[in-house]
């Protein structure tokens, strides 16, 4: 049922799924990116038993090589903004293979990348870099104390949020909780992943603020808890300005957002990013903002364990 609903949300009908097309792509064999694909698929969700039992590495390899072929990626990839295989795409394909048969997963996955988040899979990863900047912007608005604390440690989102932005939080276990978050994003927009990341920070806020080395917490966030993350994200939207909310929505597909955010991406390294931020430091400690505290309290109703 979940996979069927995802297809409906993407506007994918049975006319868009072609067995002959997929079989033809698979029969072409290894794409020019096969070595890179295999290097990535070998470590895709290896700790998730249910995923390992249901989705084989061979399935991932076939889907990703087929995507390279259908995207027209040539034998000598050049630094262009054409869609092709980029690191992290293996993790993005995994949920689709978990909820759909392989062939349908391929076409659903491809439609998702082409139409919903094309800037996340261009060679420049422009959309990802915009997402990282938006994590900082949203955190600064929603929790200026935590933002100031992290800035005081020299920690911007580019130092810890890249995997979570790139994979729409699929880099963090567990898969069942991730699927709940993706259900919500299929219904209301994948731009909400940025607020999900901020919500995850709110859930471990006390630990971060008490740590002498918060980067250790930030680089390995606790397992996802959809019932806690979603309420925080919902209430956060009310605090954002209309302009920031518009940037959130558009950054997945509109390449002019990078210019508006002052971001200049190079092709030399996926993490290379020029930014126009200036340090922001708070002079006075404040409590967790009221709107986020209320949402967090909803997540901690009796019978639910605090993180």
Q: Do residues 123 and 143 make contact, with C-beta atoms less than 8 angstroms apart?
A: no
- pLDDT, residue 264, reads 84
Contact criterion met (CB below 8 Å) for 79 and 72:
no
233 vs 281, which has greater pLDDT? Answer: 233
The two tokens of residue 280 are: 């922001």
CA-to-CA distance for 146 and 206, rounded, in angstroms?
A: 10
**Rounded Cα distance, 165 and 170, in Å:** 9
Checking if the pLDDT of 52 tops 80, the result is yes
State the Cα–Cα distance between residues 267 and 301, nearest whole angstrom: 47
Strands 264-265 and 273-274: antiparallel
Q: How far is CA 58 from the centre of its chain?
A: 24
For residue 291, is pLDDT > 70? no
Instruction: Give the start-end residues of each E strand in the chain.
Output: 264-265, 273-274
Task: Label residue 53 by pLDDT band (50, 70, 90).
Answer: confident
Calculate mean pLDDT across residues 20-44. 93
Segment 187-215 shows an average pLDDT of 95
Burial of 114 (0-12, 13-18, 19+ CB in 10 A): middle
The token pair that represents 41 in the structure block: 């698929």
Residue 137 to residue 200: CA distance in whole angstroms: 15
Per-residue pLDDT tens for 170-194? 999 999 999 999 999 999 999 999 9
pLDDT of residue 158: 94
Instruction: Work out the percent of the chain whose per-residue pLDDT is above 70.
Output: 83
pLDDT (tens digit per residue) in 115-132: 999 999 988 899 999 999
Instruction: Identify whether the C-beta of residue 136 lies closer than 8 Å to the C-beta of residue 277.
Output: yes
CA atoms of 273 and 156, how far apart (whole Å): 12
Q: Which of 71-75, 92-96, 245-249 shows the lowest per-residue confidence on average (mean pLDDT)?
A: 71-75
pLDDT at 267: 55
* Inter-residue contact 114 to 101 (CB < 8 Å): no
């Amino acid at each position: 049922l979940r996979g069927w609903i995802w297809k409906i949300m993407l506007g994918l009908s049975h006319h868009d799924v072609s067995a002959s097309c997929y079989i033809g792509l698979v029969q072409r064999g290894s794409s020019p990116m096969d070595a890179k694909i295999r290097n990535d698929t070998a470590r895709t969700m290896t700790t998730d038993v249910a995923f390992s039992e249901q989705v084989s590495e061979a399935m991932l390899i076939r889907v990703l090589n087929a995507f390279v072929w259908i995207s027209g990626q040539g034998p000598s990839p050049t630094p262009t903004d054409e869609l092709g295989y980029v690191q992290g795409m293996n993790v993005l394909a995994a949920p689709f293979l978990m909820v759909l048969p392989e062939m349908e997963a391929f076409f659903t996955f491809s439609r998702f990348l082409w139409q919903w988040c094309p800037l996340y899979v261009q060679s420049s990863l422009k959309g990802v870099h915009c997402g990282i900047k938006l994590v900082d912007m949203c955190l600064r608005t929603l929790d200026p104390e935590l933002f100031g604390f992290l800035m005081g440690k020299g920690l911007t989102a580019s130092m810890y949020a890249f995997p979570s932005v790139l994979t729409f939080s699929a880099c963090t276990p567990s898969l069942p909780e991730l699927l709940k978050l993706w259900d919500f994003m299929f219904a209301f927009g994948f731009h909400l992943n940025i607020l999900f990341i901020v919500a995850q920070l709110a859930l471990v806020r006390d630990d971060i603020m008490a740590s002498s080395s918060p980067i250790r917490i930030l680089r390995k966030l606790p397992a996802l808890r959809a019932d806690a993350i979603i309420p925080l994200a919902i209430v956060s939207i009310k605090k954002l300005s209309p302009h920031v909310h518009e940037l959130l929505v558009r950054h997945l597909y509109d390449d002019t957002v990078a210019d508006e955010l002052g971001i200049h991406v190079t092709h030399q390294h996926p993490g290379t990013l020029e930014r126009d931020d200036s340090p922001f430091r708070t002079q006075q400690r404040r409590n967790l903002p009221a709107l986020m505290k209320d949402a967090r309290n909803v997540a901690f109703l009796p019978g639910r364990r605090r993180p």
